[in-house]
Structure 1
Amino acid sequence: MDAARAARNASGVVSTAGDSVLNRSIMQLLEHVDYRLITGGEDLEAIYRLRYKSYLRSGMCGPIASGMFEDRWDNLPNSYRFGVYCYGELASTIRFHYISREHPNSPSVDAYPEILIERLARGETFIDGTRFATDPDSAPAPGVLPFLTLRLAMVASRYFGQNSVLTPVKLEHSNFYARYFNAVQRTEGKVFPGVLAPIALFEIPSGENMRLTLERFPFFRSTPTEQRLMFANPAINRLTPLSIVPTAKYYRDAA
């Protein structure tokens, strides 16, 4: 949700270098990235501290005595919390909820019930991506953290096969999501639970849009094994953290 300086840098990198250079750069960086499905302990505290640092810096939240940012949705049974580690250092974090008629609880459902409640009742399903936070000081290169982090949303999409991905974002970041994911704005900016800045709901359609995005950006691809490791069980149900190596370079259409 808070791409901040990294998202702005990303737009500049791609606008001058083109998709092919971006693809080569990210594929090379994935050699030094692992994704960690966070369960508890020091890893969980680390992503909460990163959220707080990022949100405080960007004006998304005020001072919190604990120095950590967590909320009531973190421990839901349909919650997946991830840390993105570059060269062994935590560089960004994001959380997903897979929401359906059977599991309708997530931040976006609470924030935008007028948009989502009826659609869930009709049987639509969504991935709700929230609490995106980055540490630009730990970025392996300028502007890459949004791509390395949001790759997780593409892996989730391949696993769940949902109708669309929901992403609540600041309006100043909307061009990034529209340009690279064909995101469609569904609401005006409004108060979003837990943060100070107005947030608008954007929706990234699946189906043909997903196919074209994976074709344009091969680093978003993943094998079924990677998909299962990430999303077969929510992090809250695991006893230990699980580190997952990205598999874009191993991807084959027949996998």
Structure 2
Amino acid sequence: MLQHDNETIRPESMTLATAAGVSQSALTQPTPPRERHIVTGTSARGTTYAARLAVSAKVREDAYRLRYRSYLAGGFIRENPAGLFHDHYDDMANADTVVLYSDEVPIASVRVCLLERGTNYTSPAMDTFPEEVGALLNARPNDAFAGRAIEVTRLVRSPEAENNQGLIFLLYRLAGYIALCHHTQIFLACVRSNHAPFYKRLGYSAASEPKPYPGLSCKMLLMASDRRRYDQIRLKVPMMDPMGDTTHNLEGFYKGEPVWLTLTR
């Protein structure tokens, strides 16, 4: 999900995707016509969603509007006339955003920020918890695959779909695809303390005390996982496995083409 100029595929990402076991065959097939609706609850299992990387102005606006509605409904931001919520991290070369659509209605979104030792890449976690994130990136100086991290951030669902837990797993499936493409070894998430138990079930552990977090009125806790734990969890939870049988090849994903995802057991 790394944004860069938002108009071209990054060749290195496609090479890494191949290395991760993703085929280069054509991906997307249109879904059959069906009644336009938003799946809001547990019936989401088996529902097909379209995912788009935010390489166009339209999809970026969909993401910013979703964030605004979600955070405003939760009381974490103030109202603004534009009805959009974005920040300077969205414009950085190491950040990309994905939007999930239900019958062309934007329903969920996530942003992924890439961090890498020896670069000037930053993210909300890096700026909020510089010592903790720096220690994680520098933990294995002689390991060629160490020192690479992603922060999963701005993970939101529309207020109408706030009870659709499956959307979270789909967003993590897409974030995981990007992580595999970049041989990521460290997984970061800044979460509210009451969400920490859920992230622990996903293999994360607390790496800080709660602190104020950019753009939000609530404090956030840094949580971290590693590649070994991530691989264990994704194999146990097919809904979030980017190599699962309903993700298929994501070659078109980096072009901004829609890719079709279905929740699995």
Give the TM-score, by structure 2 length.
0.72
Distance in 2, Cα, partners of 1:66 & 1:247: 33
Tell me the residue number matched to 1:33: 49
| Structure 1 residue 157, shift from structure 2 partner | 2.6
Between structures 1 and 2, the one with greater helix share: 1
Q: Are the equivalent residues in 2 in contact too, given 1:56–1:62 (CA < 8 A)?
A: yes
Secondary structure in 1 matching 2:219: coil
Q: Are the equivalent residues in 2 in contact too, given 1:80–1:97 (CA < 8 A)?
A: yes
CA distance 1:142–1:74, change in 2 (3 Å) = closer
Distance in 2, Cα, partners of 1:75 & 1:225: 29
User: Aligned pair 1:45/2:61, yes or no?
Assistant: yes
Distance in 1, Cα, partners of 2:80 & 2:54: 22
Tell me the residue number matched to 1:245: 260
Distance in 2, Cα, partners of 1:70 & 1:217: 31
1:196-217 deviation line (CA, Å, top 9, x unaligned): 101111112212x122212211
1:112-147 deviation line (CA, Å, top 9, x unaligned): 1011234435451101111111114147x7432222
Give the TM-score, by structure 1 length.
0.75
| Structure 1 residue 59, shift from structure 2 partner | 1.7
Tell me the residue number matched to 1:4: none
Tell me the residue number matched to 1:130: 153
Tell me the residue number matched to 1:104: 121
User: Aligned pair 1:211/2:228, yes or no?
Assistant: no
Tell me the residue number matched to 2:5: none
Q: Are the equivalent residues in 2 in contact too, given 1:81–1:96 (CA < 8 A)?
A: yes
Distance in 2, Cα, partners of 1:80 & 1:178: 25
| Structure 1 residue 47, shift from structure 2 partner | 1.1
1:56-71 superposed matches below 5 A: 56-71=72-87
| Structure 1 residue 97, shift from structure 2 partner | 1.1
User: Which residue identity is paired with 2:122?
Assistant: N
Identity of aligned residues (%): 23
Structure 1 range deviating more: 72-81 or 101-110: 101-110
1:13-70 deviation line (CA, Å, top 9, x unaligned): 7xxxxxxxx9xx64x23xx112100123222112111101111111211122221101
User: Aligned pair 1:116/2:137, yes or no?
Assistant: no
Secondary structure in 1 matching 2:194: helix
Q: Residue 240 of structure 2: which of 199, 220, 235 is its match? A: 220
User: 5+ residue gaps in structure 2?
Assistant: 1-39
Distance in 1, Cα, partners of 2:84 & 2:263: 33
User: Aligned pair 1:165/2:181, yes or no?
Assistant: no
Distance in 1, Cα, partners of 2:252 & 2:67: 24
1:156-195 superposed matches below 5 A: 156-179=178-201, 181-195=202-216
Tell me the residue number matched to 2:217: 196
Distance in 2, Cα, partners of 1:143 & 1:219: 11
Secondary structure in 1 matching 2:211: coil
User: 5+ residue gaps in structure 1?
Assistant: 1-8, 14-21, 250-255
Distance in 2, Cα, partners of 1:51 & 1:100: 26
Tell me the residue number matched to 1:155: 177
User: Which residue identity is paired with 1:129?
Assistant: V
Distance in 1, Cα, partners of 2:197 & 2:69: 24
Secondary structure in 1 matching 2:89: coil
Q: Are the equivalent residues in 2 in contact too, given 1:99–1:105 (CA < 8 A)?
A: yes
User: Which residue identity is paired with 1:173?
Assistant: H
